Amino acid sequence: MLRPSRFAIPSALLAVALASPSSMEGQNPATEAGAAAGQVIQAVTTRGIMGALLLALDSEGEVVGRGLSGRDGFFTIALPPGGPYRLEVESMGYRIATADSLRISVADTLRLPPIHLLPDTASNPREP
């Protein structure tokens, strides 16, 4: 019986990456993605929050972009040009934060002010 090689999946991903066009030649500039970038921070300490989930939703509530904040809370999410979009940010132990009316330009990055997450005191009840 043949067992899959531990290199099978990475090799397959490499093959797909190499087969994908690496240049933007021939693409319609009106459909080039833009992006939203910023930082998710703790409201109390102003430290970045790693691993916060970010969802960008269109006016019908459909997810058009998603991402996770990285080290020190920084993120960049690719989004289709247009909007308005609503950005929802959540992380365990914090209240969900939203940013509304984001509009994305073609092949441009919208820089957002820091997104402050407040501790969710309901999920951390005090002991008697």
User: What tokens appear for 108 in the block?
Assistant: 């441009």
State phi, psi for 96 to the nearest 5 degrees: -70, 135
pLDDT (tens digit per residue) in 5-15: 444 434 333 33
Instruction: Report the C-alpha gap between 50 and 42 in whole angstroms.
Output: 10
Return left, alpha or beta for 88; rule: phi > 0 is left, psi -120 to 50 is alpha, else beta.
beta
Instruction: Report the C-alpha gap between 116 and 96 in whole angstroms.
Output: 10
Number of Cβ within a 10 Å radius of residue 12: 10
pLDDT (tens digit per residue) in 1-39: 444 444 443 433 333 333 333 333 444 444 688 999 999
Q: What is the pLDDT of residue 121?
A: 81
User: What tokens appear for 76 in the block?
Assistant: 């960049």
Instruction: Report the C-alpha gap between 122 and 8 in whole angstroms.
Output: 46
